[in-house]
A and B are shown apart, each in its own frame.
Chain A
Amino acid sequence: MTDQQTSTGRDQASDGDRPLIDVHNLTKHFPVKRGIFQHGGLVVKAVDDISFSLKKGETLGIVGESGCGKSTTARLLMHLIELDSGEILLDGQAVGGKEGLAVNELRRQVQMVFQDSYSSLNPRLPIQDTIAFGPTVHGVSQQEARQRALSLLESVGLQPDQFGRRYPHELSGGQRQRINVARALALQPRVIILDEAVSALDKSVEAQVLNLLVDLKTEFDLTYIFISHDLNVVQYMSDRVLVMYLGKVVELGTVAEIYDNPRHPYTQALLQSRPSMNPEIRIDEPPITGDPPNPINPPPGCRFHTRCPFAEDVCATKEPPLYTKSGVDVADHAVACHIEEASSGHSKAQPRSGDA
Chain B
Amino acid sequence: MNTSSETARSTISLPDGVEIPTGALEVRSYWQNVFQRLRRDPVTVTCLVIVLLIILMAIFAPYLAPADPYKASMLKRLAAIGTAGYPLGADELGRDMLSRLIYGGRISLLMGIIPVFVALFVGGTMGVIAGFVGGRTNMLIMRLMDVFYAFPSIMLAIAISGALGAGIGNGLLALTLVFIPPITRIAESVTTQVRSFDFVEAARASGAGSWTIIRVHVLSNVLGPVFIYATSLVSVGIIIASGLSFLGLGVSPPAADWGLMLSTLRQSIYVNPMVCALPGVMIFITSLCFNLMSDGLRSAMDVRL
Contact = CB atoms under 8 A, between A and B. Distances in A.
Interface residues of B, number: 36
Contact of A114 (B29, B30, B201, B305): B201
A356 interface: no
Contact of B3 (A114, A163, A212): A212
B303 A169 contact: yes
B199 interface: yes
Contacts of B12: 162
B206 interface: yes
Interface in B1-30: 1-7, 9, 12, 14-15, 22, 25, 27, 29-30
A120 interface: yes
Contacts of B206: 107, 111, 133-134, 137-138, 183, 186-187
A116 B198 contact: yes
Contact of B7 (A115, A134, A159, A212): A159
Interface in A168-213: 169-170, 172, 174, 180, 183, 186-187, 202, 204-205, 207-208, 211-212
Given A122-B217, A134-B207, A166-B27, A114 B202 contact: yes
Interface in B199-243: 199, 201-209, 212, 216-217, 220-221
A126 B29 CA distance: 8
A125 B7 CA distance: 24
A108 B204 CA distance: 11
B1 A211 contact: yes
Nearest to A115: B198
A78 B136 CA distance: 25
Given A116-B198, A124-B221, A208-B1, A80 B204 contact: yes
A301 interface: no
A313 B283 CA distance: 81
Interface in A130-183: 130, 133-134, 137-138, 157-159, 162-163, 165-167, 169-170, 172, 174, 180, 183
Contact of B5 (A126, A133, A157): A157
Contact of A165 (B2, B4, B27, B208): B27
> In terms of DSSP, what is the predominant structure of the interface of chain B?
loop
A121 B221 CA distance: 12
Contact of B6 (A130, A157, A165): A157
Given A123-B30, A123-B221, A215 B15 contact: no
Interface string A78-102: 1010000000000000000000000
A106 B51 CA distance: 55
A208 B13 CA distance: 14
B207 A169 contact: no
Given A112-B202, A162-B22, A202 B15 contact: yes
Given A119-B199, A208-B3, A167 B30 contact: yes
Interface string A298-337: 0000000000000000000000000000000000000000
A187 B29 CA distance: 26
Question: Lowest 10 CB-CB distances: which A-B pairs, in order?
Answer: A134-B206, A157-B5, A120-B198, A124-B220, A107-B207, A137-B208, A114-B198, A119-B197, A119-B198, A122-B199
17 contacts: A80-B205, A107-B205, A111-B205, A112-B205, A122-B221, A130-B199, A133-B206, A137-B206, A162-B6, A162-B22, A169-B303, A170-B25, A186-B206, A187-B206, A202-B15, A205-B15, A208-B3
